[in-house]
Structure 1
Amino acid sequence: MNQVSLLGRLVRPIELQEVGSDRVVCNNTLAIQRLRKKDDTQPQADFIPVVFWGNTARLLHQYCGKGNQIGVNGHLASRSYTNKQEQQVFVVELIAEEIHFVESKKEATSTEPVF
Protein backbone atom coordinates (compact mmCIF):
# COMPACT_ATOMS: atom_id res chain seq x y z
CA MET A 1 0.00 0.00 0.00
CA ASN A 2 1.38 3.41 -0.96
CA GLN A 3 -0.82 6.19 0.43
CA VAL A 4 0.39 9.42 2.00
CA SER A 5 -1.56 12.28 3.60
CA LEU A 6 0.26 15.44 4.59
CA LEU A 7 -0.69 18.84 5.98
CA GLY A 8 1.81 21.62 5.44
CA ARG A 9 2.65 25.01 3.97
CA LEU A 10 3.76 25.68 0.39
CA VAL A 11 7.36 26.88 0.36
CA ARG A 12 7.49 28.59 -3.06
CA PRO A 13 5.17 30.57 -5.34
CA ILE A 14 3.04 28.39 -7.60
CA GLU A 15 4.48 28.10 -11.11
CA LEU A 16 2.84 25.99 -13.79
CA GLN A 17 4.97 24.34 -16.46
CA GLU A 18 3.51 23.09 -19.71
CA VAL A 19 4.63 19.60 -20.69
CA GLY A 20 3.25 18.53 -24.02
CA SER A 21 -0.08 19.59 -25.41
CA ASP A 22 -2.55 20.70 -22.73
CA ARG A 23 -0.62 19.07 -19.83
CA VAL A 24 0.68 21.07 -16.90
CA VAL A 25 2.77 20.26 -13.85
CA CYS A 26 3.73 22.15 -10.74
CA ASN A 27 6.67 21.19 -8.52
CA ASN A 28 6.72 22.61 -5.02
CA THR A 29 7.69 21.71 -1.48
CA LEU A 30 5.55 21.30 1.63
CA ALA A 31 6.98 22.45 4.95
CA ILE A 32 5.53 20.16 7.58
CA GLN A 33 5.98 21.22 11.18
CA ARG A 34 7.17 18.47 13.50
CA LEU A 35 5.55 17.86 16.85
CA ARG A 36 7.61 19.56 19.53
CA LYS A 37 9.04 17.89 22.59
CA LYS A 38 8.36 19.72 25.84
CA ASP A 39 11.98 20.86 26.22
CA ASP A 40 12.42 21.84 22.56
CA THR A 41 11.96 25.60 22.08
CA GLN A 42 12.69 25.89 18.33
CA PRO A 43 10.08 24.60 15.90
CA GLN A 44 11.39 22.11 13.37
CA ALA A 45 10.00 21.19 9.97
CA ASP A 46 10.45 18.57 7.30
CA PHE A 47 10.48 19.71 3.67
CA ILE A 48 8.80 17.25 1.32
CA PRO A 49 8.91 17.68 -2.48
CA VAL A 50 5.46 17.40 -4.08
CA VAL A 51 4.44 17.12 -7.75
CA PHE A 52 0.98 18.34 -8.82
CA TRP A 53 -0.32 17.35 -12.29
CA GLY A 54 -3.18 18.51 -14.51
CA ASN A 55 -6.29 19.93 -12.87
CA THR A 56 -4.76 19.59 -9.42
CA ALA A 57 -1.90 21.86 -10.53
CA ARG A 58 -4.35 24.33 -12.10
CA LEU A 59 -6.45 24.50 -8.92
CA LEU A 60 -3.34 25.00 -6.83
CA HIS A 61 -2.23 27.84 -9.12
CA GLN A 62 -5.65 29.49 -9.03
CA TYR A 63 -6.38 29.29 -5.30
CA CYS A 64 -3.07 28.95 -3.44
CA GLY A 65 0.17 30.82 -3.00
CA LYS A 66 3.43 30.65 -1.10
CA GLY A 67 2.76 30.09 2.58
CA ASN A 68 -0.72 28.61 2.16
CA GLN A 69 -1.49 25.63 4.32
CA ILE A 70 -2.93 22.74 2.31
CA GLY A 71 -3.66 19.07 2.76
CA VAL A 72 -2.35 16.64 0.15
CA ASN A 73 -3.28 13.01 -0.47
CA GLY A 74 -1.14 11.01 -2.86
CA HIS A 75 1.56 8.39 -3.21
CA LEU A 76 5.34 8.32 -2.98
CA ALA A 77 7.38 7.79 -6.11
CA SER A 78 11.13 7.40 -6.57
CA ARG A 79 13.20 8.19 -9.63
CA SER A 80 16.78 8.86 -10.57
CA TYR A 81 18.60 10.98 -13.12
CA THR A 82 22.16 11.93 -14.05
CA ASN A 83 23.06 15.54 -13.27
CA LYS A 84 25.45 17.84 -15.15
CA GLN A 85 28.38 16.53 -13.11
CA GLU A 86 27.58 13.00 -14.39
CA GLN A 87 26.44 11.90 -10.90
CA GLN A 88 23.36 9.79 -10.41
CA VAL A 89 20.78 11.57 -8.22
CA PHE A 90 17.92 9.73 -6.49
CA VAL A 91 14.69 11.56 -5.68
CA VAL A 92 11.69 10.55 -3.58
CA GLU A 93 8.65 12.80 -3.98
CA LEU A 94 4.95 12.86 -3.22
CA ILE A 95 2.74 12.67 -6.31
CA ALA A 96 -0.41 14.60 -5.34
CA GLU A 97 -3.74 13.02 -6.20
CA GLU A 98 -5.97 15.31 -4.10
CA ILE A 99 -5.52 18.68 -2.45
CA HIS A 100 -7.55 20.14 0.39
CA PHE A 101 -7.71 23.90 0.89
CA VAL A 102 -7.16 24.84 4.52
CA GLU A 103 -6.94 28.61 4.08
CA SER A 104 -7.47 31.16 1.35
CA LYS A 105 -4.72 32.82 -0.68
CA LYS A 106 -5.23 36.09 1.19
CA GLU A 107 -4.80 34.47 4.62
CA ALA A 108 -1.32 33.22 3.66
CA THR A 109 -0.02 36.75 3.09
CA SER A 110 0.01 37.45 6.84
CA THR A 111 3.28 38.12 8.61
CA GLU A 112 3.43 34.77 10.36
CA PRO A 113 6.56 32.64 9.71
CA VAL A 114 6.19 29.82 7.20
CA PHE A 115 6.56 26.31 8.65
Structure 2
Amino acid sequence: MATLRNCVRLIGNLGTDPEVRVFDNNRKLVRLSIATNESYKNEKGEKVTETQWHHLTLWGAQASLAEQYLRKGDEVSVAGKLATRNYNDKDGVKRYVTEVVVNEFLKLNSKS
Protein backbone atom coordinates (compact mmCIF):
# COMPACT_ATOMS: atom_id res chain seq x y z
CA MET A 1 0.00 0.00 0.00
CA ALA A 2 2.93 2.35 0.61
CA THR A 3 3.71 2.37 -3.14
CA LEU A 4 0.29 3.95 -3.83
CA ARG A 5 1.15 7.11 -1.91
CA ASN A 6 2.99 8.77 -4.79
CA CYS A 7 2.14 6.93 -8.00
CA VAL A 8 1.51 8.38 -11.45
CA ARG A 9 0.48 6.55 -14.62
CA LEU A 10 0.11 8.36 -17.93
CA ILE A 11 -0.53 7.39 -21.54
CA GLY A 12 0.27 9.95 -24.19
CA ASN A 13 2.49 11.04 -27.03
CA LEU A 14 6.06 12.23 -26.68
CA GLY A 15 6.58 15.87 -27.61
CA THR A 16 10.36 15.69 -27.84
CA ASP A 17 13.16 13.31 -28.62
CA PRO A 18 15.10 12.18 -25.54
CA GLU A 19 17.39 14.89 -24.14
CA VAL A 20 20.36 12.94 -22.77
CA ARG A 21 22.88 14.01 -20.13
CA VAL A 22 25.70 11.85 -18.83
CA PHE A 23 27.32 12.81 -15.52
CA ASP A 24 30.92 12.27 -14.38
CA ASN A 25 30.05 8.98 -12.69
CA ASN A 26 28.51 7.69 -15.99
CA ARG A 27 25.03 8.08 -14.53
CA LYS A 28 22.62 8.86 -17.37
CA LEU A 29 19.64 11.21 -17.27
CA VAL A 30 16.97 11.55 -19.97
CA ARG A 31 14.33 14.27 -20.04
CA LEU A 32 11.20 14.06 -22.19
CA SER A 33 7.80 15.70 -22.42
CA ILE A 34 4.53 13.84 -22.89
CA ALA A 35 1.14 15.17 -24.00
CA THR A 36 -2.06 13.68 -22.62
CA ASN A 37 -5.43 14.49 -24.18
CA GLU A 38 -8.87 14.62 -22.65
CA SER A 39 -12.00 15.14 -24.75
CA TYR A 40 -15.47 16.22 -23.75
CA LYS A 41 -18.53 17.88 -25.29
CA ASN A 42 -19.26 21.50 -24.43
CA GLU A 43 -22.69 23.09 -23.92
CA LYS A 44 -23.17 23.32 -27.70
CA GLY A 45 -22.46 19.63 -28.16
CA GLU A 46 -19.10 20.31 -29.82
CA LYS A 47 -16.18 18.04 -29.11
CA VAL A 48 -13.40 19.83 -27.22
CA THR A 49 -9.97 18.30 -26.67
CA GLU A 50 -7.68 19.63 -23.95
CA THR A 51 -3.99 18.78 -23.97
CA GLN A 52 -1.84 18.69 -20.84
CA TRP A 53 1.96 18.58 -21.02
CA HIS A 54 4.02 16.70 -18.44
CA HIS A 55 7.78 16.65 -17.85
CA LEU A 56 9.38 13.19 -17.59
CA THR A 57 12.74 12.29 -16.03
CA LEU A 58 14.38 8.88 -16.47
CA TRP A 59 17.60 7.67 -14.82
CA GLY A 60 20.05 4.80 -15.34
CA ALA A 61 18.86 1.76 -17.29
CA GLN A 62 15.46 3.35 -18.05
CA ALA A 63 17.28 6.38 -19.46
CA SER A 64 19.42 4.18 -21.72
CA LEU A 65 16.35 2.34 -23.02
CA ALA A 66 14.50 5.62 -23.62
CA GLU A 67 17.49 7.03 -25.50
CA GLN A 68 17.63 3.95 -27.71
CA TYR A 69 13.93 3.32 -28.42
CA LEU A 70 11.84 6.48 -27.89
CA ARG A 71 11.27 9.30 -30.37
CA LYS A 72 9.06 12.35 -30.68
CA GLY A 73 5.49 11.33 -31.56
CA ASP A 74 5.68 7.83 -30.03
CA GLU A 75 2.73 6.78 -27.90
CA VAL A 76 3.93 5.54 -24.52
CA SER A 77 2.63 4.44 -21.16
CA VAL A 78 4.71 5.59 -18.19
CA ALA A 79 4.60 4.86 -14.47
CA GLY A 80 6.53 6.69 -11.79
CA LYS A 81 6.25 9.25 -9.03
CA LEU A 82 5.80 13.00 -8.86
CA ALA A 83 8.77 15.09 -7.80
CA THR A 84 9.04 18.86 -7.38
CA ARG A 85 12.29 20.76 -7.59
CA ASN A 86 13.28 24.41 -7.79
CA TYR A 87 16.08 26.42 -9.34
CA ASN A 88 17.03 30.04 -9.96
CA ASP A 89 16.80 31.14 -13.59
CA LYS A 90 19.32 33.41 -15.32
CA ASP A 91 17.56 36.47 -13.87
CA GLY A 92 17.71 35.10 -10.34
CA VAL A 93 13.98 34.29 -10.19
CA LYS A 94 13.14 31.11 -8.30
CA ARG A 95 11.31 28.63 -10.56
CA TYR A 96 9.50 25.44 -9.62
CA VAL A 97 9.17 22.31 -11.75
CA THR A 98 6.96 19.29 -11.15
CA GLU A 99 7.95 16.21 -13.09
CA VAL A 100 7.27 12.50 -13.27
CA VAL A 101 10.31 10.43 -12.30
CA VAL A 102 9.69 7.38 -14.48
CA ASN A 103 10.54 3.92 -13.17
CA GLU A 104 8.98 2.00 -16.07
CA PHE A 105 7.63 2.73 -19.53
CA LEU A 106 6.07 0.83 -22.39
CA LYS A 107 6.22 1.98 -26.00
CA LEU A 108 2.74 1.45 -27.42
CA ASN A 109 3.35 2.48 -31.02
CA SER A 110 5.49 4.70 -33.22
CA LYS A 111 4.54 7.77 -35.17
CA SER A 112 5.94 6.25 -38.37
**Alignment TM-score > 0.5, same fold:** yes
* Structure 1 unaligned spans of 5+: 110-115
Matched AA of 2:77: G
Poorly superposed stretches of 4+, deviation over 4 Å: none
The equivalences for 1:36-75 within 5 A come to 36-37=40-41, 39-75=45-81
TM-score (norm 1): 0.84
**2:101 paired with 1:108:** no
Matched AA of 1:76: L
Deviations 1:16-72 (A, max 9, x none): 211222211111110001132263434221000110111111111211210000110
Count residues with an aligned counterpart. 106
SS in 1 for 2:11: strand
Structure 1 stretch displaced more, 36-45 or 89-98? 36-45
Q: Computing the radius of gyration over CA atoms, which structure comes out larger, 1 or 2?
A: 2
- Counterpart in the other structure of 2:98: 92
Q: CA deviation at 1:73?
A: 0.4
More strand by share: 2
Structure 1 vs Structure 2 CA RMSD: 1.4
Maintained 8 Å contact 2:39/2:47: no
**2:34 paired with 1:26:** no
Structure 1 stretch displaced more, 45-54 or 8-17? 8-17
TM-score (norm 2): 0.86
Maintained 8 Å contact 2:62/2:103: yes
Structure 1 stretch displaced more, 12-21 or 75-84? 12-21
- Counterpart in the other structure of 1:6: 10
